[in-house]
Structure 1
Amino acid sequence: MPSFDWDDLRHAVAIGAAGSLAGAARSLGVNHTTVLRRLDALEAHLGARLFDRQRSGYQPTEAGLVLLEQAGHMAARVDEIERQVLGRDRELTGPLRVTTAFVVMEHLLPQPLADFSRAFPGIEVEVVENAFLVDLASRHNDTEQSQMRREADVALRLSGHVAEHLVGRQLGMTQCRVYALRGAPGLPQVPTPLAVLTRDAPWVAFERGASARVYDGWMRQQLAQADVRVRVDIFNAKAAMLRTGIGVGVLPTFMEDKHPELVAVSDPIPELALPVWLVTHPDLRKTARVRAFMQFVGDALVKRLQAS
């Protein structure tokens, strides 16, 4: 039989202490569906009902009482281990791996990261530019597939959805507009309705088969009948093509500072507004270097996003 998942036991202990799913959820800082899912998984694993669901709340069964007693001993030992481990990780030194998208590394992260490195010279930050969110929980899997994956301590992502098991903060919103080369003959130079742009202007778009980003679906729909001249795979390549005057294209507004030769020719596009998240795994959030990075860089990016 596979070993216990301590997280499942922890959720059961919280139910026993609170007497309800809602109370357990509040104490653990999760939603009640997560608590119920964990309890169901534990009961299925053990093949026994641990709580009777009554009007007055969740009452432990005989099997539940045995489990809660033993789990209480385990919890005390886990807390002791955690204190000892964290005590060795309170210094602001050591490696820190951050994953983000190329466009974020290029335009949002450099200055906050440089300032962080000056403030915390003992922390060595390694940035992995990746268009997809690294599974920060994969460090707990020993499968061959997870061993092949690059892991990270912190993720900085543009995303409308963050996995439920991650913790962190939303730093702000990004906006997108359509841009053209400033002064280019035949290209619009002032904000123009999207319907007119898609009908009359030549476009630089993303690759036809792309589907992972919110931008991809929007472009497939909006540019289905448009005059697309060039397709690329990332925003930096699109900006490079826009600088040639070949057409117009969508870019995040935070790219404007590095591309003064481009002019916005649309209003912000509501469908392409995305939040910026800075997240980590719950097991890592108390680590000193992770906590310092999320606070310092997070605060800097909040100000940066407010200004863009």
Structure 2
Amino acid sequence: MDWDDLRIFLAVARAESLSGAGRRLKLDAATVGRRIARLEEGMGAKLFVKSPQGYALSESGDRLLPHAEAAEQVFAGADEEMSGIAGQLTGQLRIGAPDGCANYLLPQVCAKIAEENPGLEIQVVALPRVFNLSKREADMAIAVSRPTAGRLTVQKLSDYHLSLAAHRDYLAKAPPITCKEDLRHHRMIGYIPDMIFDKELDYFAETEAEVMGLASNSAAVQTRMIEAGAGVGIVHDFALPFAPGVQRVLGGEIRLNRAFWLIRHADDRRSERLTRFAEALGQGLRDEVARLEHAAVEI
């Protein structure tokens, strides 16, 4: 058994399909299947059970998994040790993040980290859902609430704020808004209710608004709807500098407090490379939230 066989085994275990593993490994599915068959023959045991849903680990596969993950950590540590260039970060790192963070914060933060580490490839996956780090969908993920289950390490990155807002052109022609009760006379913009993947995104529970006229599962799309003068909605304060003409409404009554959390797989705590990147990401995110929220004070 060699590391390359274990690498392919881990990819299939995480993707739960030959094609998915092949995409990650840049191999065709047939090659992945042959390599798994060769590994199973060498071990004298079936490692996967094939079903219409894909490839699930067998009892033998379950026993092999922690050993394969331990080998992965050893090889990753050796690679980090040997490939560092004058203390710089290298290789590929993937971050999963909610789209508000990914659209308005991570471009600036990652640009700075990339400039300081030219050999580093940073991938940002912006999806409105929770990432599965056990399946290695990402090396680390940013979330809006602290997870309570799983083999994870969790670090608070930064507090941030959100405000009720509308475009000045909309406010000029719409009925005045002097209290929460006035919101019932306005078109509200927010999340699609059955696609809210985290309770922290249920903003309208705090506004007492009754009817939503426009909705999206994307915070960035909601902000663009508000910028287009379509109605009133909740906007990240750090997004306000990117939305000309959008201004706070009922600032004294409605201002929400939330936090970003950085989530990593527990096994990665021994990775100096990931820890250094997490530190740079955290500091950059805190600085960028502070900078943009300060700029938003003038709006």
Give the shorter-chain TM-score range. 0.5 to 0.7
Question: C-alpha distance in 1, partners of 2:70/2:132?
Answer: 25
The C-alpha deviation readout for 1:175-208, integer Å capped at 9, x for no partner, is 1111111243234788x43233x23322223224
Q: Which residue of 1 aligns with 2:155?
A: 169
The C-alpha deviation readout for 1:102-151, integer Å capped at 9, x for no partner, is 22111011111001011111121122122222221225xxxxxxxxxxx1
Of residues 72, 78, 85 in structure 2, which corresponds to 1:87? 78
Letter in 2 for 1:109: L
Question: C-alpha distance in 2, partners of 1:302/1:136?
Answer: 23
Q: Which residue of 1 aligns with 2:121?
A: 124
Q: Is 2:222 the partner of 1:238?
A: yes
Question: C-alpha distance in 2, partners of 1:253/1:114?
Answer: 21
Letter in 1 for 2:197: A
Question: C-alpha distance in 2, partners of 1:257/1:189?
Answer: 24
1:288 Cα offset (Å): 3.5
Q: Which residue of 2 aligns with 1:225?
A: 210
Query: Is the Cα–Cα contact under 8 Å of residues 99 and 128 in structure 1 kept in the other structure?
Result: yes
Structure with higher Rg: it is 1
Aligned Cα root-mean-square deviation (Å):
3.1
Of residues 120, 130, 133 in structure 1, which corresponds to 2:130? 133
1:81 Cα offset (Å): 9.8
Letter in 2 for 1:265: V
The C-alpha deviation readout for 1:231-257, integer Å capped at 9, x for no partner, is 222122212221232211111111111
| Ranges in structure 1 where 5+ consecutive residues have no aligned partner | 1-77, 140-150
Q: Which residue of 2 aligns with 1:263?
A: 247
1:218 Cα offset (Å): 4.2
Question: C-alpha distance in 2, partners of 1:132/1:269?
Answer: 29
Q: Which residue of 2 aligns with 1:108?
A: 105
Question: C-alpha distance in 2, partners of 1:194/1:293?
Answer: 43
In structure 2, the CA distance between the partners of 1:225 and 1:152, relative to structure 1 (3 Å rule), is closer
Q: What is the SS of the residue equivalent to 1:89?
A: helix
Letter in 2 for 1:171: L
Q: Which residue of 1 aligns with 2:280?
A: 296
Q: Percent identity?
A: 23
In structure 2, the CA distance between the partners of 1:93 and 1:221, relative to structure 1 (3 Å rule), is closer
Letter in 1 for 2:108: Q
In structure 2, the CA distance between the partners of 1:88 and 1:304, relative to structure 1 (3 Å rule), is same
1:281 Cα offset (Å): 1.2
Aligned residues between the structures: 217
Q: Which residue of 2 aligns with 1:20?
A: none
1:282 Cα offset (Å): 2.1
After TM superposition, the score normalised by the length of structure 1 is: 0.61
Letter in 1 for 2:152: L
Q: What is the SS of the residue equivalent to 2:80?
A: coil
1:225 Cα offset (Å): 3.1
Query: Is the Cα–Cα contact under 8 Å of residues 215 and 272 in structure 1 kept in the other structure?
Result: no
Question: C-alpha distance in 2, partners of 1:167/1:215?
Answer: 20
Q: Is 2:274 the partner of 1:287?
A: no
Question: C-alpha distance in 2, partners of 1:246/1:89?
Answer: 50
Q: Which residue of 2 aligns with 1:153?
A: 139
In structure 2, the CA distance between the partners of 1:109 and 1:217, relative to structure 1 (3 Å rule), is closer
Q: Is 2:205 the partner of 1:180?
A: no
Letter in 1 for 2:135: S
